[in-house]
Amino acid sequence: MFITTHDGGPGRKFTSRSWQGIEIDSSLLSYSGLNSYDVLDSYRDQVFDVPGAVEKLGAALAGFKAVPNAVGLGALIISFILEAIGKSLGKQTMGTAEMLQRVFAEEKGNEVRDLMEEYLKRLRINLGKPQLQLAETRQIEIDLSAQLTRLKNSMLVDGHMDSRLLKQWVNGAAFHTQMLIHQARLEGADGSRAVRAAGVYQRAFISDSSTLLWIVTRNLAANIATLVRQNATFQIQNRH
């Protein structure tokens, strides 16, 4: 893939005629839209078709009967738990749990991956505890933002440009935007920080408005205010 860059300090951008393979991971994308709870609910029904799944899920969720904020990243982390249960029961999985592996492969010492993984772990530990989730989100999103800036500068300023790093940066930027949406939801805020972040990332990594990646991020930015107001509670009991 041939990629050129514009010079000019903070105005540097990635540009390319060909972005094959550079996309937001399918699992992250599935849980980033307006129908994230529907995606989770559908997967829940697939897993619950197997005897014993409800009991396993109740145990995995430490006895919770319901989990609030089950949209966006909140839905994503519940899908991780469902996936582990489904796999243990021999069900075909969605591959959500392999999201970080798909993005980062087996690379060691990757700060962006480590922060994303740590945040997902903290979300799971603090399920049903919105104030603790909020505190963790505020802390980790700052660290992730700084690492994304370092990664971008290593490509644009230091010349370490390749499709592998660009894929990591794009997915890290999408994940960071979702963190800010989750934070706004927990705070009862308007999501303006997430809107600004999405705009900054969109302008930085692509200038061609005809590409699918640009269209996806544009649509995400346009829906942030609605995403922030979304909420849903994930129910544990079997409905059948």
Q: Look at residue 237 and tell me whether its pLDDT is greater than 70.
A: no
DSSP H/E element including 172: helix 163-187
Q: What angle do CA 208, 21, 10 make, to 5 degrees?
A: 45
Q: Look at residue 184 and tell me whether its pLDDT is greater than 90.
A: yes
Q: Look at residue 144 and tell me whether its pLDDT is greater than 60.
A: yes
Q: What is the pLDDT of residue 194?
A: 93
State mean pLDDT over 175-198: 94
Compute φ and ψ for 131, nearest 5 degrees: -70, -40
Question: Is 79 or 19 the better-scoring residue by pLDDT?
Answer: 79
Query: Which band of pLDDT confidence, cut at 50, 70 and 90, is reported for residue 100?
Result: very high
Report pTM: 0.87
Q: How far is CA 38 from the centre of its chain?
A: 16
Query: Which band of pLDDT confidence, cut at 50, 70 and 90, is reported for residue 207?
Result: low
Given a contact cutoff of 8 angstroms between Cβ atoms, the answer to whether 32 and 201 are in contact is no
Question: Is 17 or 139 the better-scoring residue by pLDDT?
Answer: 139
**What does the mean pLDDT of the chain come to?**
84
Structure tokens given for 147:
């690492």
48-71: pLDDT as tens digits: 877 777 788 877 777 678 889 999
114-130: pLDDT as tens digits: 999 999 999 999 998 99
Residue 175 one-letter amino acid:
F
Count other C-beta atoms under 10 Å from residue 137's C-beta.
Answer: 24
Cα–Cα nearest to 163, from 46, 39, 63, 20: 20
71-83: pLDDT as tens digits: 999 999 999 998 9
Question: Is 144 or 94 the better-scoring residue by pLDDT?
Answer: 144
Distance of alpha carbon 222 from alpha carbon 229, whole angstroms: 13
Beta strands in the chain (DSSP E): 3-5, 14-16, 66-67, 234-235
Q: What is the pLDDT of residue 210?
A: 54
- Give the percent of the chain with pLDDT over 90: 49
Q: What is the pLDDT of residue 3?
A: 39
Q: What is the pLDDT of residue 6?
A: 41
